[in-house]
Amino acid sequence: MRILKGAALIAAFAAAGPAWADTITVEAGEGAQERLQEALILAAPGDEVVLGAGRFELTDGLSLDVDKVTLRGAGIDESVLDFSGQKDAGEGLLVTSDNVTLREFAIENPKGDGIKSKGADNIVYHKIRVTWTGGPLSTNGAYGIYPVESTGVLVDSSMVEGASDAGIYVGQSRDITVRGSLVQYNVAGIEIENSRNALVEGNLATHNTGGILVFDLPGLPVMGGGDVKVVGNLVTTNDVANFAPPGNIVGGVKRGTGILVMANENVLIEGNLLEANDTAQIMVVAYTLPFTDERYNPYPRNVVVGENLYVDGGTSPDLEGGKELAEAFGGALPAVMWDGLDDGQTPAVLTVAGTPGWSVNLPRQGADATEGTPSPLDVPAPDGSILDGPIGAPDELSLRIAG
């Protein structure tokens, strides 16, 4: 009869006019699946659903479809939504409403993605952990934190480990900030794909196959990625062999990639510490596969590599003939690798003076790497700065978790 009471409650709320903010606490234990899901359904805008400390054993994906709800746990290690026994749904938690705040809880071993927020504008992920506890396995889910088709996304102080695609993946969205987060043992640590106006700042990406990826792909409903700032990150020792299931685009990411830009326009890479990424600290390339989408520009445009700190790296490239190549460059490949392709109108890549780099000099888009004729990088220096205006998530999202 609990459900009936819930329904009666809704009726009472409706009769009372706009609901006031309420706190609904859900504890772990027997019936957690139904109790938590019911709380997420019956919550009114403005309510806070609070997870007690403990391990919530869940059998099905959860979902939230009410605007302005906060889902708050007792801490990143204290409140754990455990999906080890999941039987249904493509993700652990699905959010489809606006102005939602997710904070201070963990998701473990979801069968598909960790948390997906789709068409969920102005969402905040704060101190969220998504972990596949078996380490980097191709049977892990694709994305840990997965906002898509959304405007206004803040991912802050979060952590993802074990994603078989990208730990934090923001796709087909705009006005995005990913900051202060730890991504490790994923194929891609952080990936910004087909998105506009994104700030990736102050993150630690380590022991992934590739640390931070900025992609633009063809054939998607939202096209034309660009205006992405990757600044002040520590991208170190991304040394895990690519464990993406075959058939996925990130399956092509080379072990030991620090920051990778594929296609895209107006990208600033500055103030990062790039260390011991053994294929390339920074890689800028065109889309590698054939495509038919006429809306698509497969070339990188105006990717600015500013001042970064480069330490070690390039010593064991995950490339065909990589060992010989590294030897040819004196034992290590230079920090910045460009495939040598541009659209013939806009410079693909610009680097500040003194940036060590090389070009593969591919003859055309889609060519095999072995067709290249490698040479030292010879590209223009940036003419002034780019992306000076406000970039990233709206301030309101930061204010929501301040203090």
Partner 1 sequence: MNPRAFLFVAALALGGAAVLDAKAPVAVNANAITQDALPGALSEFGFFADPGQQVPAPGVIPFRLNTPLYSDGAEKLRFAYVPPGQKARGNGDGLIDFPVGAALIKTFKFDDRLIETRVMLHRADGWLALPYRWNEAQTDALLVVAGARLPVTTPDGVQISYRIPNKNQCKECHGLDGAVIPLGPKARNMSGEWLAEMVDAGVLDAVPNGSDTMPLWETRGQGEVAASARAYLDVNCAHCHRPGATASNSGLDLRWEQDDPHSFGVFKRPVAAGRGAGGLDFSIVPGGPDRSILLHRMDSIEPGVAMPELGKGTIDHDGVAIVRQWIAGMRP
Q: In the structure encoding, which two tokens stand for residue 43, read together? A: 């919550």
Give φ, ψ of 345 to 5 degrees: -120, -50
Nearer to partner 1, 4 or 402 (CB): 4
The rounded distance, in Å, linking the Cα atoms of 235 and 259 is 8
| C-beta closer to partner 1: residue 61 or 211 | 61
CB of 6 to partner 1, least distance (A): 7
In angstroms, the CA 91 to CA 118 distance is 12
Q: How far is the CB of 335 from partner 1 (least distance, A)?
A: 31
- Token output for 298: 């497969």
Among 117, 122, 164, 288, binds partner 1 (CB under 8 A): 164
- The smaller minimum CB distance to partner 1, of residues 112 and 357, is found at 112
* Single-letter amino acid, residue 91: E
Q: Please, which of residues 230-289 interact with partner 1 by CB under 8 A?
A: 245-249, 289
CA distance 278 to 333: 8
Contacts with partner 1 by CB under 8 A: the residue count is 61
Q: Cα–Cα distance between 328 and 326 in angstroms, integer?
A: 5
Rounded to whole angstroms, the Cα distance separating 350 from 377 reads: 10
**What's the CA gap between 326 and 66, in Å, rounded?**
54
100 part of the interface to partner 1, by CB under 8 A: no
Site for partner 1 in 20-79 (CB under 8 A): 33-35, 37-38, 40-42, 59-61, 63-65
Site for partner 1 in 364-383 (CB under 8 A): none
Q: In the bound complex, what is the minimum distance in angstroms from residue 333's beta carbon to partner 1?
A: 29
DSSP string, 162-181: --SSEEEEEES-EEEEEES-
If binding is defined by CB under 8 A, does position 219 make contact with partner 1? yes
DSSP state of 86: -
User: Whole-angstrom Cα distance, residue 121 to residue 75?
Assistant: 24
Binding of partner 1 by 4 (CB under 8 A) = yes
In the complex, least distance from residue 50 CB atom to partner 1, rounded to whole angstroms:
17
Residue 57 vs 60, nearer CB to partner 1: 60
C-beta separation of 136 from 158 below 8 A = no
CB of 64 to partner 1, least distance (A): 7
Single residue of 71, 105, 107, 111 touching partner 1 by CB under 8 A: 111
Cα–Cα–Cα angle for 71, 72, 78, rounded to 5 degrees? 135
Instruction: Write down the least CB distance from residue 253 to partner 1, Å.
Output: 14
Contacts of 304 (CB under 8 A, 6+ apart): 267, 268, 269, 270, 349, 350, 351, 382, 385, 386
Taking the least distance from each CB to partner 1, the nearer of 252 and 306 is 252
Q: How far is the CB of 38 from partner 1 (least distance, A)?
A: 4
Provide, rounded to whole angstroms, the least separation between the CB of residue 160 and partner 1. 14
Compose the 75-94 pattern: x for residues touching partner 1 by CB under 8 A, - for all others: -----------xxxxx---x
Judge residue 7's burial from the number of C-beta atoms within 10 Å of its C-beta, 0-12 exposed, 13-18 middle, 19 or more buried. Answer: exposed
Rounded CA separation 194/192 (Å): 7
CA atoms within a 13 Å half-sphere pointing along the CA-CB vector of 338: 27
Residues numbered 119-158 forming contacts with partner 1, rule: CB under 8 A? 119, 138-143, 146, 148-149
Nearer to partner 1, 87 or 323 (CB): 87
Beta carbons within 10 angstroms of residue 182's beta carbon = 18
Whole-angstrom distance, CA of residue 388 vs CA of residue 198: 13
Q: Which stretch binds partner 1 (CB under 8 A): 49-57, 107-115, 253-261, 325-333?
A: 107-115
The rounded distance, in Å, linking the Cα atoms of 190 and 209 is: 11
- Closest approach, Cβ 146 to partner 1, in A, equals 8
Which CB atom, from 41 or from 273, has the smaller least distance to partner 1? 41
- Rounded to a whole number of angstroms, the minimum distance from the CB of residue 58 to partner 1 is 11
Q: What residues between 169 and 188 interact with partner 1 by CB under 8 A?
A: 169, 171-172
Closest CA relative to residue 303, chosen from 259, 349, 334: 349
**Site residues for partner 1 per CB under 8 A:** 3-4, 6-8, 10-11, 14, 33-35, 37-38, 40-42, 59-61, 63-65, 86-90, 94, 96, 110-113, 118-119, 138-143, 146, 148-149, 164-165, 169, 171-172, 217, 219-222, 245-249, 289, 292
